[in-house]
Structure formats: structure tokens, C-alpha cells
Amino acid sequence: MDAAQRDALPSGVVAGATSSFLDFVTHSNPALLPFGRSLPAGELPPTPHGTTIVALCYEGGVLMAGDRRATMGSMIANRHIEKVFPADRYSVLGIAGTAGIAVDIVRLFQVELEHYEKIEGTLLSLEGKANRLGAMIRANLPMALQGLSVVPLFAGVEAGTSAGRLFSYDVTGGRYEELEHHSVGSGSVFARGALKKLWRPGLAEDDAVTVAVEALVDASDDDSATGGPDLVRKVWPVVYVVNDDGAHRVSADRLAATVADIVARRTIEGREA
Amino acid sequence: MAQQFYVSPEQIMKDRADFARKGIARGRSVVVISFLGGIALVAENPSPTLHKIGEIYDRIGFAAVGKYNEFESLRQAGVRYADVRGYSYDRADVSARGLASVYAQSLGTVFTAEQKPFEVELAVAEVGASQNADHIFRLTFDGSIADESGYLAMGGRAELVQQKLADSWAPGADLAQTLAWAVAALQAPRLEAANGSGQAELLGAGSLEVAILERDAHEVRGTHRAFRRLDTAAVEQILTTNGRG
């Protein structure tokens, strides 16, 4: 986009008929989008990947947590990366896959929801948000076929209610509603096993945080691409809870205490596998 | 063969300006006013859904008078401009000054080149870290732009409303006090019209549209979006606590 375009209202904008930022930018400025480039043939250099995200419903809302490790092949590329983000006031999303594109898709999705809200003067429905995210992931399909895939997990509550809902996606933008709990990323098989044993109906929020952190600990135990809680650097997972009051990040203090409990218990048990 | 009459450019511009001014003067007024905790945007507007006041971006709000379809399309264009800019650079790089000059460009172009000028007047307000860092820009139908300090009034009988604000406004006032000033100013044309011919109907919360740009939204509410619409009950309560009903 050149400077002249950026600093004026492009023709057609004034009478623009779309409430979607994605549609508008696709039309007026496709080069701004994270996807949609046709990549030349050839091997892609290694890129950082994000790994495990877990999400679960609890009594009064829904919770999402992500570990903090990004890997590039067998190397640790980053120990502080954040993979769970607030999408708007009542929803959050987590991303696994190629970190560079995923982070931009998150940014685009956040603007998309805020843009709709400002233009229309009302929030999108939760289904509507989930469908928009699906459209973005589908738009990334050509990149995914070249190895740059992004797989999100989306969770939220319908504004004014406290019933949490979860949506998972495949690289074609297919959208699937999940019940109770779900996990995506390379450590997800292990995390899901943990969730199956630890999750129960009617979990309180504090217990839900513990279950999510424990599932991530289990994932990091068996998956080299998932980072566990780092007691030396004091790096804890990123955890968001969403209830009828909105999305809130769980504080580092609360997570430090949760991690300390889990580590203490496992140290006493001293189990091997 | 039809005879082409010569009309001087001065006359054309004057006719267009008169036309736009007439359109704007038919509407009700809007007041944008700075206070200690932010900027209040207050409009006389009985409709709960057709807004004269809107959110543009994090710390930037919009208010307008005139033809609804024209200023609504300008508001949407402003949202698109701000969102594209914030997405391609950073949220911090979207400023009221930038937006106001883009509006000035568009309005100026339409005024000189199109069939009919926009019958609108706009205000773009950006809440700053302190009251003297607030920016309130006034944009008129011909693309003129002015930087107002503290407050502005637009719409029907705007000079009277503006004068009333000039008499009362002072920096450092709280929201309740400032809202009372704004409502009193918006009421001034009615009082004047009723002078001599009986009772003037006073403006109640139900016929006001009020939004504020909060100075410390990030610290207090943890959001980057300073714009907050006040519902009728909240406006009613603020006006009543100030000693009037």
C-alpha cells in the first residue's frame, strides 16, 4: 500500500457497504493480509511453531490456556511466546501452527470483530464470530498447503449469558463445535488424555484453572515442542477465563500458586511415568 | 440553441455554502466538551438507534449534525480509515489530527467537485492524558478545519449554544457539572424561542444522546477503547445528582 492510498479515503469507501474489515481489506488492500500470497515453489526455511492450547468449559464460563514455547525444528525459538489472546470482550482464541502467520491472523480477527461492532453498533453473535474465524482460516489454505498452516481454537460466551462454547477448526476452515473440553497442537494428544481424566461437570473456576495447567504440564512432559511451567524464569502458561463479565487474564500470582501446588504434589508422589 | 449563462465562481461557492448551511441549521445541536475525566459528547437526539455520536478508534470519538446518511457514511469511512491504519502500523499511530485532515480532504473535494456539497458538520475528538492534551477538531461542509479548545457546538443555532458554553465552561470540572453545562447550552435556543410565548420544554435524559471518551479507560477498565455510551438511566442519574431533574 503506498502512502497516498493510506492517507486518503479510497474511492468507494464512503459508500462502502460491508461491515467486515476482512472483506474491505481484501478488496482495497490485499497486500495487508497475512495470507493470500502465492508462494514460489521450493523448500521453506524453518519457521517458529506454536504448540499446545487447551480449552474447557466450567460452571459459569469457558477457559483457555496455552504453553509458552515456540520451536523451530528441534530448537526452542522462544520461551515467552503468547498463543492465547482475547478476541473481543466475550471471546478468546488460541493458535497452534506457524507462529508468524498465526499472530497476524489473531490481529486481523481482533480488528474484524471490533470493526463490525463499531460499524453496526452491536456485537456479532458467537456463531457469527466463529464463522468469520473459519473464513480466515480457509483463506489461509493455499499457505497451509505449502506448510504454513494455522489451527485455532475459539471459545467464548454469548454476551449476557454464562454458557461457554468451544469451536475447533481444520486447515480448510471447517468449524466444529466441541463439548466439555478440547485441545489443539502437537501436545494435544497428551493434554486431551489429561483433560478426559481431570475434567468433570460443574467445575468451579479455580479448579478449571488447575485442570488446564495440569493438562499443559502433562503435554510438556511427553511433547518436546510444548514448554512446561518454568520455575527458574517464572514463566507461567497464558490462561484466560471468559464469563458473563467478559474475558480476563488469570494473574501470574494465581498461576504461580497453581503451578506450585501441582509440582509439590507430583514431587511427593515421585512417580516415573 | 440554449444559452449558457455565466455565473462567477464566487457566486457558485456562495450558493453552495448557503445551501449546506441551510441544511445544517435545520437540525438539532451537538456539543463536544472536555472535562477532568475525559471528553463528553452530548446530542439532542430522541432516537435510540440513529446515532449522531460514534466511536472511531481507541481514544477518538465522532459527532455530527446535518443529513444522517451523509455523516453516517463519513463515520463509517473514518472507522475504516482508522482500522486500516491501526492494523498496518500500530494502534498508537492513529490520531485525531490524521483523521480530521482526511475528513477535510474528502469534504473539500465534495464541496468543489460534486453535484451537491455534504450538508454536514463534524467533530473529531481525541482524549489525551490530561485535559490540555485533549483535541477537538471542527470540520465544516467545505473542508475547513478548526482546532477548538475545551468545547464546541454545532448544528441549529450553533452560535447561541457556543456562546452559552463559552460563558459557563471552565477546565477541571467533573462529569456531572460539565453535562449540566452542555444540557443548559443545548436548551438555550428553546428558551429563547419560548421567551414571551409561554413555557419552554426542557431537555430530559430521554431526548439526549450522551457518550464519553474516558481519560483513564485503560487503567480503570483494562480496555484500549475509551469510548463509552451512557444509557438514559445513567444520564438521568448524573443530571439528578447535580441538583436538577
pLDDT in tens, A151-175: 999 999 998 788 899 999 999 999 9
Q: Residue A234 has what pLDDT? A: 95
CA distance A118 to chain B (A): 6
Question: Sign of the CA dihedral A193, A197, A202, A203?
Answer: negative
A25 contacts B87? CB cut-off 8 A: yes
Q: Which residues of B touch A28 (CB under 8 A)?
A: 84
In this structure, are strands B30-35 and A75-78 parallel, antiparallel, or unpaired?
A: unpaired
Q: Which residues contact B131 (CB under 8 A, 6 or more apart)?
A: B34, B35, B36, B171, B172
**Mean pLDDT within B109-129:** 93
Cβ-contact A80, A68 below 8 angstroms: yes
Q: Residue A67 has what pLDDT? A: 95
Q: Residue A250 has what pLDDT? A: 96
**Mean pLDDT within A196-218:** 96
What does chain A come to in residues?
Answer: 273
Is B72 or B199 the better-scoring residue by pLDDT? Answer: B72
Find the closest chain B residue to A32 by CA distance: B88
> With bands split at pLDDT 50, 70 and 90, how would you rate the model's confidence at B200?
low
Cβ-contact A234, A256 below 8 angstroms: yes
Mean pLDDT (chain B, rounded): 91
> With bands split at pLDDT 50, 70 and 90, how would you rate the model's confidence at A6?
very low
pLDDT at A63 over 80: yes
Cβ-contact B120, B24 below 8 angstroms: yes
Cβ-contact B159, B175 below 8 angstroms: no
pLDDT at A143 over 50: yes
Q: Which residues contact B191 (CB under 8 A, 6 or more apart)?
A: B200
Q: Residue A95 has what pLDDT? A: 94
- The reply to whether B84 touches chain A by the CB within 8 Å rule is yes
Q: What percent of chain B has pLDDT over 70?
A: 96
B81 contacts A118? CB cut-off 8 A: no
What does chain B come to in residues?
Answer: 245
All three cell numbers of B37, joined, read 475525566
- The reply to whether B149 touches chain A by the CB within 8 Å rule is no
Q: For the ranges A213-217, B103-107, B222-226, which has the lowest average pLDDT?
A: B222-226
B129 CB burial (10 A radius; 0-12, 13-18, 19+): exposed
All three cell numbers of B63, joined, read 459527532
Smallest Cβ distance to A115: which of B77, B83, B106?
B83
All three cell numbers of A189, joined, read 494428544
> With bands split at pLDDT 50, 70 and 90, how would you rate the model's confidence at B26?
confident
Cβ-contact B30, B154 below 8 angstroms: yes
**Mean pLDDT within A25-48:** 84
Q: Residue A29 has what pLDDT? A: 86
Q: What percent of chain A has pLDDT over 70?
A: 93
Q: Residue B101 has what pLDDT? A: 95
Q: Residue B4 has what pLDDT? A: 80
> With bands split at pLDDT 50, 70 and 90, how would you rate the model's confidence at A1?
very low
Cβ-contact A136, A152 below 8 angstroms: no
**Mean pLDDT within B60-87:** 94
**Helices B68-88 & B96-113 angle (0-180, nearest 10):** 140
Smallest Cβ distance to A32: which of B80, B87, B225?
B87
Q: Which residue has the cell 463534524?
A: B122
d(CA B48, CA B117): 28
Q: Residue B95 has what pLDDT? A: 95
B73 contacts A115? CB cut-off 8 A: no
pLDDT tens-digit map of B126-144: 999 999 999 999 999 999 9
Q: What share of chain B is helix, strand, coil (3-state, %, to 5)?
A: 45, 25, 30
Q: Complex ipTM, two decimals?
A: 0.91
Its pTM stands at 0.91
Active site residue A51: yes
| Beta-bridge partner residues of B125 | B61, B136
Find the closest chain B residue to A88 by CA distance: B223
Question: In three state form, how does the secondary structure of chain A look?
Answer: CCHHHHCCCCCCCCCCCCCCHHHHHHHHCHHHCCCCCCCCCCCCCCCCEECCEEEEEECCEEEEEECCCEEECCEEEECCCCCEEEEECCEEEEEEEEHHHHHHHHHHHHHHHHHHHHHHCCCCCHHHHHHHHHHHHHHCHHHHHCCCCEEEEEEEECCCCCCEEEEEECCCCCEEEECCEEEECCCHHHHHHHHHHHCCCCCCHHHHHHHHHHHHHHHHHHCCCCCCCECCCCECCEEEEEECCEEEECCHHHHHHHHHHHHHHHHHHCCCC
B74 contacts A14? CB cut-off 8 A: yes
> Quick one: which of A57, A107, A99, A101 has its CA closest to A82?
A99
**DSSP 3-state assignment of B87?**
helix
**DSSP 3-state assignment of B121?**
strand
> With bands split at pLDDT 50, 70 and 90, how would you rate the model's confidence at B198?
low
pLDDT at A206 over 80: yes
